[in-house]
Amino acid sequence: MSRWGFFKHALRAVLPALAGLLLAAPAHAADEYLDPDKAFSLSARALDATHIEVRFDIAPGYYLYQERLNAQVAPVGLQLAELRIPKGKVKYDETFEKDVEYFREAVTLVAVLKEAPTGPFKLSVGNQGCADKGLCYSPQKRAFQIEPGQGAGGAPRFTLLSEAQAEAWSPTALVAGNASSALSAAMSSPAPQVGAAASPEDSGEVSKALKSGNTVLVIGLFMLLGLGLAFTPCVLPMMPILSSIIVGRGGPVSKARGFSLALAYSLGMALVYTAFGVASALAGEGLGAALQNVWVLGGFAVVLAIFSLSMFGVYELQMPASLQNRLTQASQGFKGGQHLGVFAMGGISSLIVGPCVAAPLAGALVYISQTRDVVLGGTALFSMAVGMSVPLLLLGLSAGALLPRAGGWMTHVKHAFGVMLLAVAVWMVAPVLPMPVVMLLTAGLLVVAAFCLGAFKAVPKPARPARRVAKGLGLLLGVFAVAQVVGAASGGRDLTRPLAHLGSARPHASGPELKFQPIATLAELDEVVRTSSRPVMLDFYADWCVACKEFEKFTFTDEAVRQKMAGLTLLRVDVTANNENDKALLRKYTLFGPPAMLFFAPAGGELPGSRVIGFQDARTFSAHLDRVEAMGPTRIGMK
pTM summary value: 0.47
Asked whether the beta carbons of 571 and 519 are under 8 A apart, the reply is yes
Q: Report residue 297's pLDDT band, with 50, 70 and 90 as the boundaries.
A: confident
pLDDT above 70 (res 147): yes
DSSP for 244-279, written as a single string: HHHHTTSS---HHHHHHHHHHHHHHHHHHHHHHHHH
* Model pLDDT for residues 221-236, shown as the tens digit of each residue: 778 877 877 776 556 6
How far apart (Å, rounded) are the C-alpha atoms in residues 128 and 592?
11
Average pLDDT over residues 232-258: 60
How far apart (Å, rounded) are the C-alpha atoms in residues 637 and 634?
9
How far apart (Å, rounded) are the C-alpha atoms in residues 219 and 17?
8
Q: Which amino acid is at 408?
A: G
pLDDT above 70 (res 184): no
* Model pLDDT for residues 75-120, shown as the tens digit of each residue: 877 888 899 999 999 887 665 667 889 999 999 999 999 888 888 8
Give the start-to-end residue ranges of the domains of the chain: 36-187, 204-408, 442-496, 517-631
Q: Which amino acid is at 541?
A: Y
Average pLDDT over residues 6-22: 43
How far apart (Å, rounded) are the C-alpha atoms in residues 310 and 420?
13
Cα–Cα nearest to 194, from 160, 161, 162, 148: 160
In this prediction, residue 19 carries a pLDDT of 42
- pLDDT over 70 percentage in the chain: 66
CATH number for the segment(s) 517-631: 3.40.30.10
How far apart (Å, rounded) are the C-alpha atoms in residues 538 and 529?
10
How far apart (Å, rounded) are the C-alpha atoms in residues 60 and 608?
29
* Model pLDDT for residues 518-568, shown as the tens digit of each residue: 999 999 999 999 899 999 999 999 877 778 888 988 899 999 999 999 999
613 against 373, higher pLDDT: 613
Asked whether the beta carbons of 569 and 535 are under 8 A apart, the reply is yes
17 against 631, higher pLDDT: 631
* Model pLDDT for residues 319-377, shown as the tens digit of each residue: 455 654 554 454 444 344 467 777 877 776 666 555 555 444 544 555 555 556 667 76
DSSP state of 93: E
In this prediction, residue 561 carries a pLDDT of 93
Asked whether the beta carbons of 219 and 270 are under 8 A apart, the reply is no
In this prediction, residue 203 carries a pLDDT of 38
191 against 489, higher pLDDT: 489
Residues in the chain, total: 639
Q: Which amino acid is at 447?
A: V
Query: Which homologous superfamily does the CATH classification assign to the domain defined by 36-187?
Result: Thiol:disulfide interchange protein DsbD, N-terminal domain (2.60.40.1250)
Q: Report residue 22's pLDDT band, with 50, 70 and 90 as the boundaries.
A: very low
How far apart (Å, rounded) are the C-alpha atoms in residues 523 and 503?
45
pLDDT above 70 (res 138): yes
